[in-house]
Structure 1
């Protein structure tokens, strides 16, 4: 697998610990590894592109580039269509994110967007996230991503067909010896968006936050399988977003009178 060309990005920023973990994972798969990541934190940026404003890529060290103000999607576009245009990457890895990316949260995730843009550009895209304990405020522990990351990617590579899908991977909390395998699961569709207005202690100020998880939860979807079963979750996500069932129901029914 030494000829596999891999592009890495993230949304936590080029100096985040998770991208160092991702480099370690990628180098277990190939010796042709490149990093293009945002200069600073871009969590929640989703699939935003920076239009109408100049960007500059700075080479931090050999094969590691930072782009100030860029989103993960910007970074992937720069990496694939410019930096590595003479031989495009086979694989785009995004992460390892500090915190789980589950359920409908993937729609705003910069980590997921990095993998999605990789897939849209013709590579195999995989987003990777390490679960943290948000309730008790514990620091992130990268042990499970370090231990199992390369093996999970190898298995996805072996089973992937075509480039119309990207993959969202989450590693559970806890001792690597007690991880309950790998489960291929759907992402949790919440009963409503988890994002809400959240008042600040400062007058007239507020946050957009996730104060609670919308219920009920599907016992077979990523949220519960990661947290309750403590399995590594792998969710294949289609790039084709058209609802074919709705198309069939509406076909011939919409017309101008």
Structure 2
């Protein structure tokens, strides 16, 4: 199995080294193509109309200067790996959880999504942080369970047009209660808000609080309250069939205008 690794924290981030160890437990054909710096929140952005550059940082290890995770997967799958693109694209391990509607802007998720769109199996992986206890990240759960989680998904995946979003709980490996396939938390509104800066006229876009209520069976609460590794499959076909049916009677010119 040929594996391509990317992330949105940058090619030198500690999480990508952990992901490389996870991948090498599964295969000896592992490649890394990642942004040269932090691209958190980049989503599925492509760098169009602006030249990018590849830097080789070691054996089978490349950085895309100024590039997004999606750029990196494209460069890896369609150029670096030549006529033998990866069978599996692993994105992460992200420093911090990617849950609920936040996945829509996640560069980590986008790496796995683009991998799946390129024909590989795409899996995004994130290590949760319990910010109430400490801002520091403990990677132990993802280090201990990462390879087993990937193997479990590969064994059970079936023939679905999806990519997978995995989150590891912020707890010791022995406290992990299991692994669960769960839906993502659909928030009541966007989690992102205007957040004022201390500088006059300045502001941030931030997540000052989690929108409530939370579904106890969705990824956010299953990860946080149950200390369970969550796996959420996201469909690549995003069309809502029921909305198509509801819109089937659309007319361009109402009858009263004819």
TM range (shorter): over 0.9
Match of 2:99? Answer: 102
Is 1:131 matched up with 2:128?
yes
Is 1:189 matched up with 2:186?
yes
TM-score w.r.t. the length of structure 2 is 0.97
Is 1:146 matched up with 2:131?
no
RMSD, aligned CA: 0.9
TM-score w.r.t. the length of structure 1 is 0.97
Distance 2:51 2:250 in 1: 46
Distance 2:173 2:152 in 1: 18
Q: 1:41 aligns with which of 24, 32, 38?
A: 38
Q: 2:88 aligns with which of 91, 97, 106?
A: 91
Distance 2:133 2:208 in 1: 14
Q: Can you list the C-alpha shifts for 1:31-70, whole angstroms capped at 9, x where unaligned?
A: 0000000000000000000011110110000000001110
Is 1:73 matched up with 2:98?
no
Distance 1:138 1:202 in 2: 24
Distance 2:134 2:42 in 1: 23
Distance 2:223 2:217 in 1: 10
- Please state how far the C-alpha of 1:135 moved relative to its aligned partner: 3.3
Distance 1:201 1:136, change over 3 A: farther
Distance 1:137 1:155 in 2: 30
Query: What is the DSSP-based 3-state SS (H/G/I as helix, E as strand, rest coil) of the residue aligned with 1:228?
Result: helix
Q: 1:179 aligns with which of 176, 181, 191?
A: 176
Q: Can you list the C-alpha shifts for 1:101-131, whole angstroms capped at 9, x where unaligned?
A: 0000000000000000000000000000000
Q: 2:152 aligns with which of 132, 151, 155?
A: 155
Where structure 1 has 5 or more consecutive residues not aligned to the other structure, the ranges are none
Distance 2:157 2:67 in 1: 29
Q: Can you list the C-alpha shifts for 1:74-111, whole angstroms capped at 9, x where unaligned?
A: 00000001111210100000000000000000000000
Where structure 2 has 5 or more consecutive residues not aligned to the other structure, the ranges are none
The count of residues paired between Structure 1 and Structure 2 equals: 254
CA contact (8 A) 1:123 1:163 kept: no
Match of 1:239? Answer: 236
Q: Return the index of the structure with the highest Cα Rg.
A: 2
Match of 2:115? Answer: 118
Distance 2:195 2:21 in 1: 37
Query: What is the DSSP-based 3-state SS (H/G/I as helix, E as strand, rest coil) of the residue aligned with 1:74?
Result: helix
- Please state how far the C-alpha of 1:174 moved relative to its aligned partner: 1.1
Q: Which moved more, 1:163-172 or 1:12-21?
A: 163-172
